[in-house]
């Protein structure tokens, strides 16, 4: 993939991660949600693609100054119409990539990352407009997901990731919780389970030197509730 891109454009190439588990579309969707706000004028090539070679589409999404290329398998769920960042709604433009002239000739059915995503990414970096990739679409695949809700006395969210330390990362943004959160700490110290604001600005359920997910039997996509007048959350 890097060779194809580098042979077609002088744009810098950065590896953001190769640690998404195979077939883990949801993990890729959350990773993208976490990193996208820190980039400008970039083309993201997102290839977590269990359906490679099937009739699933390749999507190109314009979000502010960035363009994202991804399979139409739910990977863009957290970005396709809005961003939950600070409650702001941001409309994104989506195209189905159908211009075969941009693909490598005689490409394989098993490595679309190299044969389709990479040359399209290079074309975009060189100034090709999204309109030249294919038609605009709005009926894309979305993963089952309920956005967090922020009430005066009750906040509801979802555990969206379990990191390798066992921290259970939720999609609840601390800045939008309208009440104090009991047992909220600023460092990974102390006894028992506690809450902490992670690097995404979202609430995490953690334990010092141990896996909160294992200790509390937490799983990704478990629902979480924070209550104003209760000592603990429900999950």
- Over the stretch 170-191, which tens digit does the pLDDT of each residue have? 999 999 999 999 999 999 999 9
**Which positions of the chain have pLDDT values less than 70?**
80-91, 230-235
CB contact set of 18 (below 8 Å; sequence gap of 6+)? none
Q: Tokens 């077939």 — which residue?
A: 23
What pLDDT, on the 0 to 100 scale, is given for residue 90? 58
**In a 10 Å sphere around its CB, with 0-12 CB exposed, 13-18 middle and 19+ buried, how is residue 197 labelled?**
middle
* 135-161: burial string, b at 16+ Cβ within 10 Å, e else: eebeebbbeeeeebebeeeebbbbbbb
Residues 94 and 157 in one domain: no
Whichever domain contains 210, its CATH number is 2.40.30.90
Residues 7 and 107 in one domain: yes
What pLDDT, on the 0 to 100 scale, is given for residue 92? 78
Distance CA 109, CA 115 (A): 9
pTM given for the model: 0.87
What pLDDT, on the 0 to 100 scale, is given for residue 86? 47
Residues 81 and 168 in one domain: no
Residues 98 and 205 in one domain: no
**Residue that terminates a domain, selected from 74, 101, 132:** 132
Identify whether the C-beta of residue 96 lies closer than 8 Å to the C-beta of residue 59. yes
DSSP state of 55: S
Residues spanned by the domain of 184: 149-227
Identify whether the C-beta of residue 103 lies closer than 8 Å to the C-beta of residue 117. no
Number of domains in the chain: 2
Residues 112 and 207 in one domain: no
Residue 85 falls within a domain, yes or no?
yes
């Amino acid at each position: 993939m890097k060779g194809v891109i580098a042979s077609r454009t002088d744009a810098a190439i950065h590896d953001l991660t190769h640690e998404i588990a195979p077939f883990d579309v949801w993990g890729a969707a959350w990773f993208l949600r976490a990193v996208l706000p820190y980039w400008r004028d970039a083309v993201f090539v997102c290839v977590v693609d269990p359906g490679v070679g099937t009739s699933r589409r390749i999507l190109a999404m314009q979000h502010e100054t960035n363009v994202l290329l991804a399979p139409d398998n739910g990977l863009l769920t957290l970005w396709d119409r809005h961003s939950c960042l600070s409650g702001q709604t941001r409309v994104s433009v989506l195209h189905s990539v159908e211009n075969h002239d941009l693909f490598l000739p005689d490409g394989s059915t098993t490595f679309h990352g190299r044969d389709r995503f990479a040359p399209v990414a290079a074309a975009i970096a060189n100034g090709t407009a999204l309109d030249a990739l294919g038609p605009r679409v709005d009926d894309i695949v979305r993963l089952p997901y309920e956005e967090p809700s922020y009430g005066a006395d009750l906040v509801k969210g979802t555990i969206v990731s379990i990191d390798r330390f066992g921290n259970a990362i939720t999609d609840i943004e601390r800045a939008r919780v309208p009440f104090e959160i009991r047992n909220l700490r600023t460092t990974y110290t102390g006894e028992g389970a506690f809450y902490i604001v992670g690097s995404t600005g979202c609430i995490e359920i953690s334990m010092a030197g141990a896996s909160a997910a294992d200790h509390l039997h937490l799983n990704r996509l478990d629902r979480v509730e924070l209550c104003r007048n209760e000592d603990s959350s429900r999950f």
